[in-house]
Amino acid sequence: MEKSFLQTTVDLVKHYAKVTWQRYRKLGIWGKLFIWFLITFYITLGVVLVLKGAVIAQAMYDLAQKLSNMKYGWLIILGFMILVSFPPMTGHTTAMTLCGFAYGMKGFFVGLAGSVLGATAVFVVLRFLFSKRLRKWSATNNKWTALETVVKTKGLPLVILIRLSPMPPWAYANTLFASIHTVALWQFIVATLFLSPKLLLHTFIGSRLAPLSDGEQRQEMDTQTKIINGCLVGGGILLGIAASVIVYRLVQRQLRHLKGVSPSTEGDIIEALEEADEGASLLGNLSSESLLEEGNRQQPPVIRDRDEDD
């Protein structure tokens, strides 16, 4: 029986809550302290947004206007988008929204260029700087080997489907594809271009938020216009969430029904993608210690000769 949209969303939240708790328990003291630092930071940020939302929105609008009036303001946005494409940075969605703030719907082209350049920069840098370490680690990781094999077999369609999925997030998705050596650069760029509708939606939301964020324009608006703009923004956000959940369900369904793939291999592939959600694929598993530890686990036990013991 097909699950409802709401039930699928609830199951997804429960699953990631469980996975997050399990991985939190495995962290050392410094890792846990860092997690609590992030939690505190985002809670504080949320409180500030609630209490000073109008002030922040006005500041963002003013910044966007300064950038749009600068001759090379679009280059600053491009630079920022390239920066947030590298993990563990965040802010890609905010940058796309800023494009809408600054340039209206024309900002889509700036955002698309920044997204492609940023993603390509991450792919090239990680592929060239960490190529040997990636191959060494992936060769000793059954889950990653399974993922690489399936991606190589299914080719571009599967790459595009995984790229469209909301999980892993933007920066970690870039590292995910860089770590799969069977994904070619041209495939990665083509798959990134398929994100254009999503980027267009973020730009649209920014373009509608801009007049609502500016105090002067907001005062001049009649109630009907404010309601229409608010509904457009809210509808765009809901549309984005719904599309993300639908694509995620499609990805999971495709991965669980791969022809010629055993159930255990399907599980390995899904687990590899889940690890990438938190950056575990690169940031957590590519240290020298972890590589050595993983390699030792894969080595067969040494059987000593009885004569040596004597």
Convert the pLDDT of each residue in 95-140 to its tens digit.
Answer: 888 898 889 899 999 999 999 999 999 999 888 887 777 667 666 6
Residue with tokens 């191959």: 135
Geometric angle at alpha carbon 100, from 97 and 106, rounded to 5°:
140
Would you write out the chain's pLDDT as a tens digit for each of its 310 residues? 455 666 766 776 777 677 777 777 777 787 777 678 767 866 776 676 666 667 777 887 888 888 889 888 899 999 999 998 987 787 888 888 889 888 989 999 999 999 999 999 999 988 888 777 766 766 666 666 777 777 777 788 888 888 888 777 788 888 888 888 888 899 999 999 999 998 998 899 888 888 877 777 777 777 777 677 778 777 877 777 777 777 777 766 766 666 656 665 656 666 666 666 555 445 554 444 443 444 444 444 444 444 444 4
Domain extent listing, the chain: 18-51, 59-295
Q: Pseudo-torsion of CA 275, 280, 282, 283, nearest 10°? A: 160
In terms of C-beta density within 10 A (0-12 exposed, 13-18 middle, 19 or more buried), how is residue 294 classed?
Answer: middle
Distances (CA, A) of 123 to 116, 156, 199, 231, 277: 10, 16, 19, 38, 17
| CB of 194 closer than 8 Å to CB of 163 | yes
- Nearest-angstrom CA–CA distance, 260 and 240: 33
